[in-house]
Amino acid sequence: MTLLPPDVQAWLDQEDERTAQIIRQYGVYIEYVHGEPRRRLPAFAYTVGLFGLRHPELLIFDLSPGSAAGVLNRLAEDVWSGANLLPQQEIEREGGEKPFILEEVTNPGEIVFAANRYYQRPAEASVPVFQLTHADDAGRYPWQKGYARPAWRQPRPGRFRA
């Protein structure tokens, strides 16, 4: 076990408590990580709390904090209500926007640090994660010819590390 400086450990302890309080109150915590476009690092968000329901956590790239939270909270409510989301499932979006497709993430331990910390799991035994992949304005997904967004903004599952 690595010993951390006391101030870092105190901050992590506070974050752990805050995460637990939010999950107790709302059922899920959303971790948002701001991107760095100049370095081609995408913004992303993921849930913490669904694994406690024996369901994979959810991950989404390339949305604003508010949009990402809206999508993830809506789907978390579905899971809390008994929905079992599955890989390759198409998820309809509110407002008639293009749907999402769920994809299994093969390297979740390299991305969902807050979830693994909450569940006290090492990276090699990470909580499972589904990525919500969304289409461009023309309805094309990243694996389709003519996809209009830069590939780094919505990386393919297994090719991204936080």
Tens of pLDDT along 23-39?
999 999 999 999 999 99
* Residue 85 belongs to domain spanning: 6-153
The answer to the question of residue 160 being in a domain is no
The answer to the question of residue 161 being in a domain is no
Low-confidence ranges of the chain (pLDDT < 70): 1, 96
Number of domains in the chain: 1
The answer to the question of residue 70 being in a domain is yes
The answer to the question of residue 136 being in a domain is yes
Hunting for tokens 């996809």 — which residue is that?
147
The answer to the question of residue 1 being in a domain is no
Tens of pLDDT along 64-79?
999 999 999 999 999 9
The answer to the question of residue 85 being in a domain is yes
The answer to the question of residue 64 being in a domain is yes
- The pLDDT score that the predictor gives to residue 93 is 77
- The pLDDT score that the predictor gives to residue 105 is 98
The answer to the question of residue 162 being in a domain is no
Question: Long-range contacts made by residues 81-86, C-beta under 8 angstroms, separation at least 24?
Answer: 84/55, 85/55, 85/56, 85/58, 85/130
Q: How far is CA 5 from CA 11, 115, 117, in A?
A: 10, 22, 17
Alpha-carbon dihedral angle through residues 80, 84, 87, 89, given to the nearest 10 degrees: -100
- Is the pTM for the entire model greater than 0.75? yes
Determine the residue type at 117.
R
